[in-house]
Amino acid sequence: MLEKREFYINGKWVAPAVANDFHVINPSTEEPCAVISLGSEADTNAAVAAAKAAFPAWMATPVAERIALVEKLVEVYSRRGEDLAQAMSLEMGAPIDMSRTQQVGAGIWHLKNFLTAAKNFEFERPLGDHAPNDRIIYEAVGVAALITPWNWPMNQVTLKVGAAAIAGCTMILKPSEQSPLNAMVFAELMDEAGFPAGVFNLVNGDGVGVGSQLSGHPDVDMVSFTGSTRAGIAISKNAAETLKKVHLELGGKGANVIFADADDKAVKRGVLHMMNNTGQSCNAPSRMLVQRPIYDQAVETAAEVAKSVTVGNALDEGRHIGPVVNELQWNKIQGLIQKGIDEGARLVAGGLGRPEGFNKGYFVRPTVFADANNQMTIAREEIFGPVLTMIPFDTEEEAIEIANDTPYGLTNYVQTQDGARANRMARVLRSGMVEMNGKSRSAGSPFGGMKQSGKGREGGVWGLEDFLEVKAVGGWAAE
């Protein structure tokens, strides 16, 4: 078992002020795989003080130099990819092949996209032709607290760190205590890349402790948080006392609207997308809305596909899904599956308990419910596990009504060969993202939601802008 309790503060690995051990659990075995320390208020204050002290010089560093350091980070990250993959598989249960490709790959993708966006971003620009002596200056927000989740660790760490670094912010990263090991590897990468002391700091901790201390700290200028809607509300309330900027990427309950003219792989694609990462994705297409002429066949197909999804230990190579992250999540998912049964949805695949052959580990059976309606609990709540809810519809108008009838608004999906209808749907679906016919969003596209799915956007130009203040200057002098 790995024992590593250090925090990365002001360019050094330091011991916690107070020993407060936390056992990281391998969800494939239910056994401890590492011991970390949860930070105290003294650790939080030390990290914030280091970031605050480093901020003036880092903000004044030419953008080209900040970009060059992120380019160096990409180089180091690429070399250490296997270390990151092994850590994520061990601590949060992503199957190792998936961890190497998708989990690690997401981080390199985002960093490279930020570099492209930064090289074309005008940090100082004229207001317009009508005002030759006015300038708009984009200036770093300041000290940023970055609070990241366990489900896509490197995806979220790089979306925040990459943008903050290029923008000129200094930062304190608090990764999820459920998946801290990959973040500690990432701190080693930041150190090797040569970021100045105090620019990047890491303190492990939980939300009640370090998370609350950061979101309420008077010397923290911004909080960028990814996680549950419940936690996002708590952070917003705590941050309001100091009027700091708050960026939230929260939950989702995406609708995948499959019309009768959808391509013949649309249902299979939707089920596999739902099961990816064991359903632990905020943008998962967890509600499959199917037009009635093809509904019965879609249910049959969805059940077959779900039954073909294999489950296995995260450290085993191969194409399978791993466990969910911990016992709390496992119990929550079991409760919601039982709720689906009790409320009258038809169980066509999976169900309660562990998959056959497993008596240990937080493994969940790939599950599909049919004949649900949008008022059922399994259609309202974010399950965050490999559970798909299927709902029939008749008309385009009904599909829109069902899809939008949710407190969330992160990602919706549309499957139709009618281009005009696809575009109509994209315009009226109330979500920050819409993906159609299996086409994912392209490089530099912003990630973020509406309603209770949060506020702000990550990735590309929009991700940079979230870490920048806008300064208007009148009477700009010729130099």
Distance CA 432, CA 434 (A): 7
The string of pLDDT tens digits covering residues 436-477 is 999 999 999 999 999 999 999 999 999 999 999 999 999 998
The string of pLDDT tens digits covering residues 55-89 is 999 999 999 999 999 999 999 999 999 999 999 99
Give me the catalytic one of 249, 382, 435, 458.
249
* Prediction pTM value: 0.97
Give the pLDDT of residue 331.
Answer: 98
Query: Same topology for domains 2-250+453-473 and 255-436, yes or no?
Result: no
Distance CA 293, CA 305 (A): 20
Which residues are within 8 A (CB) of 131 and not within 5 positions of it... i.e. 6 or more apart? none
Distance CA 188, CA 398 (A): 52
Which residues are within 8 A (CB) of 401 and not within 5 positions of it... i.e. 6 or more apart? none
Task: Check pLDDT > 70 for residue 3.
Answer: no
CB 455 within 8 A of CB 448: yes
- Active-site residue flag, 82: no
Give me the catalytic one of 91, 177, 282, 435.
282
Binned at pLDDT 50, 70 and 90, residue 478 comes out as: confident
The string of pLDDT tens digits covering residues 152-165 is 999 999 999 999 99
Distance CA 223, CA 238 (A): 11
Task: Check pLDDT > 90 for residue 364.
Answer: yes
CB 179 within 8 A of CB 38: no
- Active-site residue flag, 124: no
The string of pLDDT tens digits covering residues 239-275 is 999 999 999 999 999 999 999 999 999 999 999 999 9
Q: Which CATH superfamily is domain 255-436 in?
A: Aldehyde Dehydrogenase; Chain A, domain 2 (3.40.309.10)
Each domain of the chain, given as residue ranges in start order, spans 2-250+453-473, 255-436
CATH topology of domain 2-250+453-473: Aldehyde Dehydrogenase; Chain A, domain 1 (3.40.605)
Query: Which stretches does DSSP call E strand in 208-320?
Result: 222-226, 245-249, 255-258, 287-291
Indicate the helix (H) or strand (E) that contains 145: strand 143-147
- Taking the mean position of all CA atoms in its chain, how far away is CA 455? 13
Binned at pLDDT 50, 70 and 90, residue 1 comes out as: low
Indicate the helix (H) or strand (E) that contains 137: strand 131-140
